[in-house]
Amino acid sequence: MEKLLLLGDEAIAQAAIDAGLSGIFGYPGTPSTEIIEYIQASKEAKQKNIRSSWASNEKTAMEAALGMSYAGKRAMFTCKHVGMNVAADPFMNSAITGVNGGLVYISADDPSMHSSQDEQDSRYYAFWAKIPILEPSNQQEAYDMIHEAFELSEKFRIPVMLRITTRLAHSRAGVVIRQDKREQNQIGIPENPKQFILLPVNARRQYKELLAKQEGLEEASTKSVFNHYYEGENKSIGIIACGLSFNYLMENFTQTKCTYPILKITQYPIPTEMVKKLYQECDSILVLEEGQPLFEEKLKGFLNNGKKIMGRLDGTLSIDGELNPAKVGKALGLKVSEGLPVPELVAPRPPKLCEGCPHADTYRALNEAVADFSKGRVFADIGCYTLGALPPYNAINTTVDMGASITMAKGASEAGFQPAIAVIGDSTFTHSGMTGLLDCVVDNTPVTIIILDNSITAMTGSQKSSATGRIESICEGIGVAKEHIRVITPLKKFHEENVRIMKEEIAYQGVSVIIPRRECLVWLNKKRKEEKQRQKQQE
């Protein structure tokens, strides 16, 4: 028996390797990033020729994974929860096409928004698309469920979602690894040549097939080893514990036994019969779920005229934020232990741009270049440079979703609010800024777009950026006039010159692009270290 100490993310990656994965596709995003990084670093994956480089965005990644499934191979897709929004189109439609080789989508949610702009619950997407979900409660289950997910996917010819949250993704525990590793699938296209041609005539038939699969999928949930009914003699409350919340429940019963019946749910669709049994047996129901109250809403229904259902909707648990042992204990009316309060003098320590970060020099120049205009003109995006919203820079006015800088600047400019300036990172630009730039070019909208080229996707821990070495040619290809693509070096010694160039381009009544180019320092250090190590190994 081999036991490895693995992050939840790593357990998923190792499981996929062991389950005969041929390729993994994704775009970085906390807390999902380590899944693909693990495969990129794995010697075993290299030997097995598993493809694993980063995609430009979640949509391209998911479509490529679907293509690999079409060709008969097992494929996996990873993203952070908001990546599901970007991939929503292929996601919904791949439920209709169904799969050929096993296809597993991993979405990593971030309740409490440790490093995200919202706390959307990916299970809603899976319910919407009518595909099964596996929601592991610990690292071992995450490992085992990947095997099950591929089996389910191939048996029902449907994509399967594995939904995790930050606590599982970024927590380590011992995981028992299987010794019988599965071979990769052979190439083979779908038997039905129309399966992937979603003309309405085919799509209608495919959709009926998807609906017809539901009964079998629910039966699989009912029989699943991952869903479990724990009998209990105290029927005053029946507890439904989804995914990770099961652990928080159990943490409250380390000294005593839980006498309430518990239904542990980690596989969906919801196994109706198991829920009915609990509902009939108990006087009231408490629903514990990490994320939004999906299960609770379903159980309550629109009119809520049945038994008392407690959870996030009725205030027994807070409607937002992640769960923890104390919240769950209090929901059950248990006495929970308390520590000491945080002394008032403790100040928050928000993250900030590294000392010497290229973005800092860009913001210093930009602040000076726009000083003569009224405030509120800088539409920014998501990345390290979002920290420019904080003091001492106070340099940006919006951050909404990846790519929104360019398009929001466009809309504001079209409202007559000129000059309008967009600030976008290099990786974010190739993720979803290019089409917005095309819109600007087509309409010749007066905007100044600053593409911060630090050679890397820094925010998520230095992943290769699809933009590196291509930004000028992309902008030119899209139609930005060559003389309005200006490359500057964000360093103190060029400050005056950089301010001057920014002012010139801001004054230009058309589309202009400024590219401040200097490497991220964290990346630079990493590269140097790796280089040193390589030299040492050669010696």
Ligand X SMILES: Cc1ncc(C[n+]2csc(CCOP(=O)(O)OP(=O)(O)O)c2C)c(N)n1
What is the contact surface with ligand SF4 in residues (CB under 6 A)?
A: 353-354, 357, 359, 384, 454, 458, 520-522
212 belongs to the binding site for another protein (CB under 8 A): no
Smallest Cα–Cα separation from 367: which of 500, 513, 499, 491?
Answer: 499
Our CA dihedral for 165, 180, 157, 243, rounded to 10 degrees, sits at -20
CB of 384 to another protein, least distance (A): 7
Distance in Å, CB of 454 to ligand SF4, minimum = 5
Q: Is 262 among the residues that bind ligand X (CB under 6 A)? A: no
Using CB under 8 A, pick the residue from 27, 38, 105, 248 that binds another protein: 248
Q: Which two tokens stand for residue 89?
A: 């189109």
Quick one: which segment of 163-171, 280-288, 422-430, 492-500 binds ligand X (CB under 6 A)?
422-430
DSSP reduced 3-state for 33:
helix
Please give the residues from 434 up to 493 whose contact with ligand X meets the rule CB under 6 A: 452, 454, 456-460, 465
Of 8 and 383, which CB lies nearer to ligand X in the complex structure? 383
Copy the structure tokens of residue 12: 């998923």
Question: What is the nearest approach in angstroms of ligand SF4 to the Cβ of residue 439?
Answer: 27
For residue 457, the partner it binds in another protein, ligand SF4, ligand X, none, with Cβ less than 5 to 8 A by kind, is ligand X
Phi, psi of 267 (to 5 degrees): -135, 135
Token output for 178: 């299987």
Q: Would you list the DSSP string of 56-85?
A: SSHHHHHHHHHHHHHTT-EEEEEEETTHHH
Look-up of token digits 């899944």: 35
Q: Taking CB under 8 A as the rule, which mask of x and - marks residues 112-141 in contact with another protein?
A: --xx--------------------------
Beta-carbon contacts of 392 under 8 Å, excluding residues fewer than 6 positions away, are none
Residue ranges in 385-404 that form contacts with ligand X under rule CB under 6 A: 385, 402
The mark string for 345-364 relative to another protein (x by CB under 8 A, - otherwise) is xxxxxxxxxx----------
Site size for ligand X (CB under 6 A): 25
**Nearest alpha-carbon partner for 160 in 47, 4, 19, 296:** 19
438 binds, among ligand SF4, ligand X, another protein, none (CB under 5 to 8 A by kind): none
Contacts of 266 (CB under 8 A, 6+ apart): 134, 135, 136, 137, 141, 145, 224, 226, 227, 242, 243, 246
Is the CB of residue 306 less than 8 Å from the CB of residue 275? no
- How many residues of this chain interact with another protein, rule: CB under 8 A? 49
Is the distance from CB of 420 to CB of 379 less than 8 angstroms?
yes
Question: Which CB atom, from 327 or from 470, has the smaller least distance to another protein?
Answer: 327
> Which one among 8, 29, 329, 388 touches ligand X, defined by CB under 6 A?
29
- In this structure, the strands spanning 133-134 and 267-268 are antiparallel
Instruction: For residue 326, give both structure tokens.
Output: 């104390």
Longest Cα–Cα distance in the chain: 78
80-88, 163-171, 178-186, 482-490 -> range binding ligand X (CB under 6 A): 80-88
One residue of 35, 55, 61, 82 binding ligand X per CB under 6 A: 82
Does the footprint of another protein cover residue 222 (CB under 8 A)?
no
Decide: is 383 part of the binding site for ligand X (CB under 6 A). Answer: yes
One of 336, 371, 442, 507 touching another protein (CB under 8 A): 336
Sign of CA dihedral 137, 141, 146, 150: negative
Question: What DSSP line would sit under 371-427, residue for residue?
Answer: TTSPS--EE--SSGGGGGGSTTT----B--STTHHHHHHHHHHHTT--S-EEEEEHH
Helix axis angle for 272-281 and 200-223, nearest 10°, is 50
321 binds another protein (CB under 8 A): no
The footprint of ligand X (CB under 6 A) covers 27-29, 58, 80, 82-83, 86, 382-385, 402, 425-428, 452, 454, 456-460, 465
The footprint of another protein (CB under 8 A) covers 5, 30-31, 114-115, 167-168, 170-174, 244, 247-252, 254, 324-326, 329, 336-343, 345-354, 384, 387, 391, 459-461, 522
